[in-house]
Homo-oligomer: A and B are copies of this chain.
Amino acid sequence: MARELTVSVDAMGGDAGPGVVVAALARSVQRHPLVKFILHGDEALLKPLFARRAKLLERVSIRHAPDRISMEEKPSIALRRGRNSSMWRALESVKKGEAEAALSAGNTGALMAMGMFALGKLDGISRPAISVILPTRRGQVIVLDVGANVESDAEQLVDFAVMGEAFARAVLNLERPSVGLLNVGSEEVKGNEAVKGAAHILRHVNLPMEFAGFVEGDDIAEGTTDVVVTDGFAGNIALKTAEGTARLITSYLRGALRRSVLARIGALFASGALMALRRKIDPRAFGGGVFLGLNGIVVKAHGGTDALGFASALDMAIDMAEAGIVDRIVADHAAVSQAIHAGAAAS
């Protein structure tokens, strides 16, 4: 599937700064020999980072952008005043067709607002969604929407399912991902009108996925389905509750392993295993969020990420570009619309 393509990168987003981004690019060029990068940011800061990486510059072109969007900036302000920012320029490269995907570790709200404005929404998709990949007992799960919207109706949830299955095929390499709708019970009668309506549509359309019906909050970590679809309100709460619970338990674990001499000795022996556990649940390892439903690929790396995390976000952007995810979503969405209209006409 590997082919020549270009990824546009915001060097100035995130807490860690451009050093992390350049280190991630150094990793990524090794992994993806056919991919080129456009790096947007403050030239005066970026050039020195390449002083000992002359070879990297064969694959990375630096474009000067004088401004940067801060993590605290309101999306509306960023949109109005941010045209000289590295974030806007990174998106603009996709808009102009110079790059197939854009990546930033910056302000999520600003990136979404700018992404909508620069690239526009995909035909027929009324609302973009933010999608994340989380670890499960069986592997990984894609959850969307985790916060782009605060309310979603049945047809928007169906759009999320379409986007989620296309994303699962692109980055989890599944031919026919299973998709569940997040609900408060697995029985058909449960839930609000939006999830019941979405389930009704998903049961009756022919998509390249296995619709598994309703799933519950604990099915996310269980890995019951490959994709979990929900509105951005419940999805954001679920994501942050999972992160908070993970932090709570690791802090309990740390506390427990310090409480007695025996426990401290045990922790010493098991330190390798405990480090591996920490890496396994480190949110930075999961590459951040992906904005689906835009007319272009936009990936949001975790704000506090390191070079490894940023590189895995780059992997994700490249996988999506190689899989032609935007065209896949458009095609699947057209099939759903047709089925819905045919159903409406028949009933």
Contacts and interface: CB of A to CB of B under 8 A. Distances in A.
Nearest to A184: B236
B192 A221 contact: no
Interface in A212-258: 216-222, 230, 232-234, 236-253, 256-257
A263 B257 CA distance: 13
Contact of A241 (B221, B232, B247, B277): B221
Interface stretch (A53-61, A92-100, A266-274): A266-274
Contact of A184 (B219, B237, B268): B237
Contact of A240 (B216, B265, B270): B216
B272 A269 contact: no
A271 B174 CA distance: 40
A257 B266 CA distance: 10
A239 B182 CA distance: 13
A70 interface: no
A241 B220 contact: yes
A113 interface: no
Contacts of A251: 137
Contacts of A217: 236-244
A262 B273 CA distance: 9
A203 interface: no
A269 B233 CA distance: 44
Interface centre among A151, A252, A259 (most CB of B within 10 A): A252
Contacts of A82: none
A324 interface: no
Contacts of A260: 272-273
A18 interface: no
A130 to B, nearest CB: 11
A278 to B, nearest CB: 9
A139 B95 CA distance: 50
Contacts of A262: 269-270, 272-273
Contacts of A270: 256-257, 262-263, 265-267, 270
B245 A246 contact: yes
Interface centre among A150, A230, A241 (most CB of B within 10 A): A241
Contacts of A62: none
Contacts of A216: 236-237, 240
A264 B266 CA distance: 9
A255 B271 CA distance: 14
A200 interface: no
A252 B237 contact: no
A138 B20 CA distance: 34
A204 interface: no
Contact of A253 (B135, B136, B219, B277): B277
A3 interface: no
Interface of A: 135-137, 147, 150-151, 182, 184, 190-192, 216-222, 230, 232-234, 236-253, 256-257, 259-260, 262-263, 265-274, 276-277, 280-281
16 contacts: A137-B248, A150-B190, A184-B237, A216-B237, A216-B240, A218-B244, A220-B245, A230-B237, A237-B237, A238-B241, A249-B277, A252-B277, A256-B274, A262-B270, A262-B273, A266-B268
